[in-house]
Amino acid sequence: MVTDSNNHKFFMQLAIDAAWENQLLAYPNPAVGAIVVEDGRILSIEVHKKAGSSHAEVMALVSAYETKSGKEVDFDKNDSFASHEFLRSFPKDFFSKCSIYVTLEPCSHIGKTPPCASLLGDLNIKNVYIACKDPVAKHSGGEEYLTNLGINVKCGILEHEAKELLEPFTVWQNRAFVVFKLAQSLNGRIGGKNISSLTSRTHMHSIRSVCSKLLIGGSTVRIDRPTLDSRLVKGKAPDVFIYSKDEKEIDRNIPLFNIENRSVEIGDNLDFLNLPSLVMVEGGAGMLEALKDKIDWLLVYQAPTLSANKLSYNADLRLKTLHIDKKEEDIIIWSKKI
The answer to whether 32 contacts its own copies (rule: CB under 8 A) is no
Strands 41-47 and 189-190: unpaired
Helix axes 56-69, 80-88, angle to 10 degrees: 50
Cα–Cα distance, 260 to 222 (Å, whole number)? 21
The answer to whether 320 contacts its own copies (rule: CB under 8 A) is yes
Helix (H) or strand (E) holding 121, with range, is helix 116-122
For residue 264, the cross-strand partners are 240
Comparing CB distances to its own copies, the nearer of 261 and 314 is 314
Catalytic residue among 46, 57, 143, 282, which?
A: 57
- Binding test (CB under 8 A) with its own copies, winner from 44, 196, 200, 220: 44
Q: Taking CB under 8 A as the criterion, which residues in 115-174 touch its own copies?
A: none
Q: Look up 144 and say whether it is catalytic.
A: no
The answer to whether 254 contacts its own copies (rule: CB under 8 A) is no
DSSP letters for 62-92: HHHHHHHHS---SS-TT-HHHHHHHHHTS-T
**231: DSSP letter:** G
The answer to whether 290 contacts its own copies (rule: CB under 8 A) is no
Q: Which stretch binds its own copies (CB under 8 A): 34-42, 50-58, 102-110, 268-276?
A: 34-42
Residue 92 · residue 124 · CB < 8 Å: yes
Degrees to nearest 5, angle at CA 181 with 177 and 183: 170
Phi-psi region of 50 (alpha: psi -120 to 50; beta: other; left: phi over 0): beta
The answer to whether 307 contacts its own copies (rule: CB under 8 A) is yes
Comparing CB distances to its own copies, the nearer of 33 and 218 is 33
The answer to whether 318 contacts its own copies (rule: CB under 8 A) is yes
Q: Fill in the per-residue mask, 59 to 98: x = in contact with its own copies (CB under 8 A), - = not in contact.
A: ----x--xx--x----------------------------
Q: Measured from the CB of residue 225, what is the shortest distance to its own copies in angstroms?
A: 25
Strands 152-155 and 127-132: parallel
Question: CB 92: neighbour CB atoms within 10 A?
Answer: 9
The answer to whether 333 contacts its own copies (rule: CB under 8 A) is yes
Q: Measured from the CB of residue 255, what is the shortest distance to its own copies in angstroms?
A: 29
Report the interface residues with its own copies, using CB under 8 A.
Answer: 1-5, 10, 18, 39-46, 63, 66-67, 70, 184-189, 288, 298, 300, 304-309, 312-321, 323-324, 326, 329-331, 333, 335
Give the residue numbers marked as catalytic: 57
